[in-house]
Amino acid sequence: MKRRDFLQSGAALAALPLLGRAAAIVPGPAMAGTLHRLTAAGAEDNRATFMPDGRTILFASKRSGKSQIWAMNPDGGDVRRLHVSTANDSGRVAPNADGTRLCFSSDRSGQNGVYVLELAGGRVTPVSDPAFWSFGPTWSSSDLIAFFSRKGGNAINTWTVRPDGSQARQITNQAGESRQPWWSPDGQTLALSADHGTGRFQVWLMNADGSDSRAITTAGSCEQPFWSPDGQRIAISAKIDGPHHRIYIMRSDGAEVRAIGQPEGVENVHPTWSPDGGSIVFTSGSGAAASLQRFDLA
């Protein structure tokens, strides 16, 4: 599929079944492994990511009052605030390839925007247009940041930008929301969720410039894609066969969908893969009841 098809026309949908009528996904057997609770409920701990060396988990939390960037060991120990600000610093926190800088979302300019933090000196640089709400950045191995924003028409669009704020580029332009991008390990492919105005999200893959866009799910509602370190699988949060979002792992072509071990009867969202590919960390529960959990694959 050409980039102009995704950006300017409805042709992307024409090749797919209507999302609400697509055949149901039938997940395979649940994956074997062990579930560990990393944090207690009460602080709205959410949206974890790992530092590149796998020794630190980053997450957003209100345990100090406002939402701030926190860090902990992979076993949940040594919890500490990584960056102190008077704003709400929230959303997924994404490191660059060598772990010296982070991109994150913050309302420090009055509404949510995307910023880059230099860990050594604490310098913070805005990289999104301050006139528009922007959220959920991800940093590629080729040094390109993707995020989603209300800029550019439609409800939400996906953009890319360089870490210094230059070369901002809108790469989606479809009705509804195109959001929650995450880079493949080689920095060449974005996975994101888009609803094209239906309210039901599917996972799309595309090149960094928005070309070669294609859906890899066509049923249920599938969100928050996160690539495995080897680029062979993608973890998602999806409503497939029940009322709550659950964490699933699938192949990078959307096949072989399988659930991981996770709490029942609650929302399980925002999966992140450990750099060694052995664990998935995710948010379980909503609001003040949320906690971070780790599932170690057998």
pLDDT band at residue 25 under the 50/70/90 scheme: confident
How high is the pLDDT of residue 241?
A: 85
- Taking only Cα atoms into account, the Rg of the chain, rounded to an integer number of angstroms, comes to 18
Domain range annotation of the chain: 3-297
How high is the pLDDT of residue 131?
A: 97
How high is the pLDDT of residue 24?
A: 56
- Give me 141's structure tokens: 């191995």
Q: What is the pTM of this model?
A: 0.91
**CA-CA-CA-CA torsion sign (74, 76, 82, 85):** positive
Give how far Cα 36 sits from Cα of 150, 229, 231, 270, 280, Å.
37, 21, 25, 16, 10
Q: Which of 16-20, 68-72, 223-227 has the lowest mean pLDDT?
A: 16-20
Burial class (CB in 10 A: 0-12, 13-18, 19+), 66: middle
Q: Which of 13-17, 50-54, 162-166 has the lowest mean pLDDT?
A: 13-17
Chain centroid offset of residue 138 CA: 8
Q: Report pLDDT digits (tens) over 169-197.
A: 999 999 999 999 999 999 999 999 999 99
Q: What is the mean pLDDT of the chain?
A: 92
> Element (H or E) spanning 114, and its range?
strand 113-118
Which superfamily does CATH assign the domain made up of 3-297 to? TolB, C-terminal domain (2.120.10.30)
Non-local CB neighbours of 194 within 8 Å, separated by 6+ positions: 172, 174, 176, 177, 178, 179, 201, 202, 204
Specify the 3-state DSSP secondary structure of 284.
strand
CA atoms within 13 A on the CB side of 283: 27
Q: Report pLDDT digits (tens) over 213-245.
A: 999 999 999 999 999 999 999 999 999 989 999
Under a CB-based contact definition with an 8 Å cutoff, are residues 225 and 204 in contact?
A: no
How high is the pLDDT of residue 28?
A: 85
Q: How far apart are CA 106 and CA 114, in angstroms?
A: 7
pLDDT band at residue 272 under the 50/70/90 scheme: very high
Q: How far apart are CA 270 and CA 97, in angstroms?
A: 20
Q: How far apart are CA 211 and CA 214, in angstroms?
A: 9
- pLDDT score of 16 more than 80: no
Closest of 111, 98, 35, 99 to residue 71, by C-alpha: 99
Q: Report pLDDT digits (tens) over 95-153.
A: 999 999 999 999 999 999 999 999 999 999 999 999 999 999 999 999 999 999 999 99
- Give me 144's structure tokens: 């390109």
